[in-house]
């Protein structure tokens, strides 16, 4: 067997040839894989999405990204003065109060200061800030602290508790502030890297990293418009209102809530998508601060496997139309009860919440394009989006006659009012708008949102019908109410 010396070491010449062949083969293979990866279309890995290809890439840092984005994230401190009466539980009782001429026998109310904290995002260089509505709710003073430690008093431009977003304004004295640009939150994909920036537990500005765990979480119950980005980036108390940013430094969402068993992060956090945040910001400037949601005039329900089978669908998808308001443009465009809606303006619809979200982020006056299925045949429905009409006028009235509904305020239900109070169902009839928590109606178990159908077998269609029925002297009452999908009758003896 022929041998040779390599660097003074005797080796087998055939073994050397084998090693050279392996080295060459591995080099060619590496080159081939590199060419294959570079030749993949954008959809293979997503636009600008790449896996690390070297040890050097693994040591890359988010520091430049954070340096650009962090100055646009602020800390928000709120202060609220709460006045408490000693023995307040007893003094709230009118029978107890009358013995003291309406004055408290226990002295003047005591003042207690409640402080809370949160985060916010500067979205206009003039000092316009987005945060959560629950961060600034009922506060007497709002202080915004910038990343450079400057402090400003803030005023509330708009707070929408249904969406849990608020718009604040500070006066930076003409100096332009750092801002975050909005991204199209529909561009996010599960698995994308994101950063959460905020002020958890008041320790100061903090950055955490994670991935997008889901892009359309609806079964969360945080707000009326349930449609959230879920992330495992650590979000803790104090992060509310802070920024969830993409890898190009744009605002992907407003961090809002966490799922927790102990009060801390367990890797399940939720953010309001930037598309909804942008809609609220634009509404605060163009519609007096109120988000005007286009009216679809549709009541729908989610489709499960059993329902999909009965409808002839290959799998559970879309929503089933349960009711169509005859006054709506959807009805005029031919949408019917029993139709299945699969998409709205190209976006997949999986449940009624996603339908509401897509409608809320569209603009009044724009065109709605629905992909539907009827009797197994796909079709397209188009109509212009309009505001929900205030028809009939609400005529909100308090119930003052002695009856089981004493203390409630009732109103005629219209599409506009139904949207305002998040009433689910056909917007028709008389609804309880609000009530005093100490009223007879509240003590008997009635709630805001209850639809009054009948009083003593008298059909109720308007507020006037209801007030007239309640003015009748009666020793017994039978009141029929619809609450959600349930209808029940309560009987009372006077």
User: Which are the catalytic amino acids?
Assistant: 134, 164, 240
Question: What is the torsional sign of CA 304, 305, 311, 315?
Answer: positive
Q: Which of 76, 188, 164 is nearest to 121 (CA)?
A: 76
- Indicate the Cα dihedral angle 127, 129, 134, 138, nearest 10°: 20
> 476 with 467: CB under 8 angstroms?
no
| CA–CA gap between residue 134 and residue 43 (Å, rounded) | 39
Burial tier of 337 (Cβ tally within 10 Å: 0-12, 13-18, 19+)? exposed
Q: Is 123 helix (H, G, I), strand (E, B) or coil?
A: strand
Determine whether 355 is exposed, middle or buried from the number of CB atoms within 10 Å of its CB (0-12, 13-18, 19+): buried
Query: What three-state secondary structure class fits 191?
Result: coil
Dihedral pair phi/psi, residue 251, rounded to 5°: -80, 115
DSSP state of 222: S
What is the C-alpha separation between 37 and 386, in angstroms, rounded? 48
Identify which of 287, 282, 253, 257 has the alpha carbon closest to the alpha carbon of residue 270: 257
Q: What is the three-class DSSP state of 88?
A: helix
Residue 267 tokens read as 């890797």
Determine the length of the chain.
494
């Amino acid at each position: 067997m022929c041998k040779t010396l390599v660097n003074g070491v005797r080796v087998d010449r055939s073994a050397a040839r084998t090693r050279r062949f392996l080295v060459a083969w591995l080099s060619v293979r590496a080159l081939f894989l590199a060419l294959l990866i570079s030749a993949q279309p954008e959809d293979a890995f997503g636009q600008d999405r790449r896996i690390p290809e070297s040890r050097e890439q693994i040591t890359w840092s988010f520091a430049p990204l954070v340096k650009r984005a962090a100055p646009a994230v602020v800390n928000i401190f709120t202060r609220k003065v709460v006045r408490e009466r000693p023995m307040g539980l007893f003094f709230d009782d009118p029978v107890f109060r009358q013995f003291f001429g309406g004055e408290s026998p226990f002295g003047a109310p005591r003042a207690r200061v409640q402080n809370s904290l949160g985060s916010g995002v500067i979205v206009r260089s003039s000092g316009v800030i987005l945060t959560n509505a629950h961060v600034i709710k009922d506060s007497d003073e709002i202080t915004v602290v910038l990343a450079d430690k400057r402090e400003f008093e803030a005023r509330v431009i708009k707070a929408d508790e249904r969406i849990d977003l608020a718009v604040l304004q500070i006066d930076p004295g003409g100096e332009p502030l750092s801002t975050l640009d909005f991204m199209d939150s529909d561009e996010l994909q599960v698995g994308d890297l994101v950063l959460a920036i905020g002020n958890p537990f008041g320790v100061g500005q903090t950055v955490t990293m994670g991935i997008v765990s889901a892009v359309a979480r609806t079964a969360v119950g945080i707000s009326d418009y349930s449609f959230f980005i879920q992330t495992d980036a650590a979000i803790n108390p104090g992060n509310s209102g802070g920024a969830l940013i993409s890898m190009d430094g744009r605002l992907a969402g407003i961090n809002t809530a966490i799922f927790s068993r102990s009060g801390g992060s367990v890797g399940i956090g939720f953010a309001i998508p930037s598309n909804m945040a942008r809609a609220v910001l634009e509404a605060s400037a163009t519609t007096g601060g109120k988000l005007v949601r286009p009216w679809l005039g549709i009541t729908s329900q989610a489709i499960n496997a059993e329902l999909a089978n009965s409808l002839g669908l290959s799998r559970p998808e879309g929503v089933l139309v349960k009711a169509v308001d005859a006054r709506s443009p959807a009805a005029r465009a031919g949408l019917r009860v029993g139709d299945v809606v699969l998409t709205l303006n190209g976006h997949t619809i999986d449940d009624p919440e996603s339908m509401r979200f897509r409608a809320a982020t569209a603009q009044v006056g724009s065109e709605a394009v629905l992909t539907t299925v009827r009797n197994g045949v796909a079709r397209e429905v188009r109509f212009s989006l309009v505001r929900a009409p205030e028809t009939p006028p609400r005529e909100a009235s308090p119930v003052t006659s002695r009856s089981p509904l004493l203390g409630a305020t009732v109103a005629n239900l219209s599409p506009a009012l139904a949207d305002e109070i998040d009433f689910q169902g056909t917007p028709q009839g008389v609804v309880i708008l609000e009530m005093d928590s100490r009223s007879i109606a509240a003590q008997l178990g009635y709630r805001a949102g209850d639809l009054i159908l009948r009083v003593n077998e008298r059909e109720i269609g308007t507020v006037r019908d209801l007030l007239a029925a309640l003015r009748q002297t009666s020793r017994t009452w039978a009141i029929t109410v619809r609450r959600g999908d349930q209808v029940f009758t309560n009987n009372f003896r006077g």
